[in-house]
Structure 1
Amino acid sequence: MKFVEGDVWGPRFCASEYFLLRAGCVASICRLMYKLHEKQDISGTFWIEFNAAGSEEYYDHWHDTSRFVAPDAMLLVAECFSSCIENFDTYRPIFIEPYTARQVGGMLEVFASAHPKSQASKLAVDLAYFLVENARHSQPVWMLGV
C-alpha cells in the first residue's frame, strides 16, 4: 500500500488511518482508496458494489458497469446513505430506487462541499454523479455490501 502526505479530515478516522496515526506516521491513506473504482481497476472481493444492471428482483453481481468503493472509504460517506435509507447497512444488499438515489446524491454533494479538502470529497462527488445519473434514466441501483 502506498501512502501520501496530507491531512486526515475531521474527528472521524477509518481504521487504517487510525492505525497509521497510532504508529506515529504523518500520512494518510493513498488517494486511490477514496475513489469510485470500475471493475477492471480492482481485484479481490472486499468491496462495496454499486450495481445499476438489474431490477428490483434481480442484480448481476460484478457487472462491467458496476462501481466499487473500499469499505473504509464507505465509512466516511455512510451517513449520507443512512440519513436517506431506513435500516442502512453496508453488509447487506440494498435496493436504491431512483428517488432515493437522488436524495443520497444530494447528501453526498453536501458532504463534498462541506469537506472540500478531504480525501473523501472526490469519492462523494463521483458517487453522487453515478447515483443521480442512473436515477435520471429511472434506473435503480443495488448497493451490494461486502
Structure 2
Amino acid sequence: MSRTVVEINAKHHPEGKRFLIKEYPKDKEYRRFKLSPQIAAKLKQHIEDSQLERDDLLFIYQTEEPAPQAKPEPVEHLGLTEPNAAGRRYRHGTLSAYSAGKCRCQHCKNAYLWESVQHAAYWPGHFHTAARLCPWSARKGFPDRASQQGDFSV
C-alpha cells in the first residue's frame, strides 16, 4: 500500500474535489499485504463490473436513506390528560400532551419519539436523545424494529 485517500472539504482540495489521494500512508511507511486468489478474482470482477479506472476508489461509502415511518395515530378513546397547572387538558398521543400536559403514558411517549426521529431524519446532526432511545428508529446504528413489531411501542 503506497497511497491513501482522505475525504476533505472541497475548498481545501487543490482541484476542488471531495477526495485527496496522498502518495503515502499517514506514518509514511509503505505496506504490503497478500491477497488470496479468490479475493483477487473478486476484486478484478468488481473493477470490471464498476468500470473503474486506474485512480478510482475501489469501494465508495454510500449512506442509505432511512425508510419513512408511519406516523402513530392518536388514540381517541383514551380521552384527555389530567389538567395541568394552567388547567388545560390535552388529547393523549400528541406532542402537546407529552410536553405541556406532562403526560408520560405510552401513547404520549410514542408521539414524542416519533417526532424526534422525524426531526433527526430531516435535520442531520440534530439527533435528539429521545430518538437515540427509540427502538423503531431507522437511523444508522439503530435497529429497524418497526417492520417486526408492527406498532410504535417502546
Greater C-alpha Rg: 2
The structure with the greater share of residues assigned to strand is: 1
Give the TM bin, normalised by the shorter chain: under 0.3
TM-score by length of 2: 0.23
TM-score, with length taken from structure 1: 0.24
- Higher normalized contact order (CA 8 Å, seq sep 6+, divided by chain length): 1
